[in-house]
Chains A and B, each alone.
Chain A
Amino acid sequence: MIPGISITEILLVTSILFFIGVYGFLTRTNLISILISVELILNASVINFVVINKYLFPDILQGVVYSIFIIAVAAAETALAVAIIFNLYKQISSVEVTETETLKF
């Protein structure tokens, strides 16, 4: 545990980060900005895994291992999303959500 800091404070900070990500996800109309918001949401959840592991169950490592898996999946997801955004830009010259009507391979 981090000395002097309770688990409640850290969880509140990650909740705020999570809802900032949700706000960005709902208000942005650009695919890359939506990707940025998804990264915020994923990072907030990863901190939750790590902190709960550290504070409540310090002798097992499940939270750390799950965090590593989440980071790997996020990297794969970002690579695929960027590839799809490139393809879309080649076809319709725009990455706005409102103009995205075709997503055919």
Chain B
Amino acid sequence: MEKFIFYGLALTMIGFAIASVTSRKMLRSVVYLLFVLIGIAGVYFMADYNFLAAIQLTVYAGGIIVLIIFSVLLVHHIDMEMEVPNKTKRILTALTCLAGLGVFASTIIAHPFKVVPNTITTTTGDIGMKLLSYDAGGFILPFEVISVLLLAAMIGAITIARSGKAPLDETEIFTPSPEQLPRELLEEPLEKEIAVSYKESTLLETIH
């Protein structure tokens, strides 16, 4: 029974991952990624790590996907198709990835894993005690560091997102103020009517 569930999950994840990296509509690609993440949460549930599965569902499938969808909707036109690189590059990349996958697969298959049979259920309390323990092997220092990191990332994200300059308007660019006129016009004492006509002609040009 578990075999069928696992193979179903694996096929779903691989299929949606391929769809996610090859789809030309960006919003669909994000939604395919959501299915991959839910499949990964299913693998955690099968491995009896309920707390990790809950984290996966809330942080990834809840938070990060919403953030990416938000950015796609703000940045992209919804019916615009993404451009894909040329066929040679795609085939070369796919071949390189397959070669790397072959190396990984041969290493994994050849390696003798010393699997320990167990039926220990890890509770959330165990993980909490491990995260906050002061003893050897405890994770209190990385825990505190990660909280500082999250605070720094939050402040940095707000600062970066606020500091952008809006692009200049075209009317702003093409409206000359007196100090934007050519310098030789202002500094060199030209004859008056030539200067005036030059000024008028530039102004007329800029108006058009």
A residues neighboring B (CB under 8 Å): 1-13, 15-24, 26-30, 32-33, 35-37, 39-40, 43, 46-47, 50-51, 54-62, 64-65, 67-69, 71-80, 82-93, 95-96, 105
Contacts and interface: CB of A to CB of B under 8 A. Distances in A.
A60 B64 CA distance: 29
Given A23-B97, A27-B21, A39 B26 contact: no
Contacts of A30: 26, 82
Interface string B84-117: 1100011001100110110011001100011111
Per DSSP, chain B at the interface is helix
Interface in B39-89: 40, 43-44, 46-49, 51-52, 55-56, 59-60, 63-64, 67-68, 70-72, 74-76, 82-85, 89
A87 B60 contact: no
B127 A64 contact: yes
Contacts of A32: 26, 30, 68, 71-72, 75-76
Contacts of A79: 67, 153-154, 157
A71 B59 contact: yes
B13 A17 contact: yes
Nearest to A30: B82
A61 B130 contact: yes
Contacts of B68: 32, 35-36, 78, 82
Nearest to A67: B52
24 contacts: A1-B115, A8-B108, A9-B10, A10-B6, A11-B108, A15-B101, A19-B104, A22-B100, A26-B93, A27-B84, A28-B21, A28-B82, A36-B30, A46-B40, A54-B47, A61-B127, A68-B55, A79-B67, A79-B157, A85-B75, A86-B160, A91-B165, A91-B167, A95-B75
A80 B48 CA distance: 32
Given A33-B82, A78-B67, A50 B122 contact: no
Given A12-B108, A80-B157, A24 B20 contact: yes
B204 interface: no
Contacts of A77: 153
Contacts of B70: 82
Instruction: From A22, A74, A76, A89, name the one whose CB has the most chain B CB atoms within 10 angstroms.
Output: A76
A5 B67 contact: no
Contacts of B100: 19, 22
Nearest to B21: A24
A34 B46 CA distance: 29
A58 B153 contact: no
Contacts of A75: 59, 63-64, 150
A40 B146 contact: no
Given A27-B21, A64-B122, A71-B55, A90 B115 contact: no
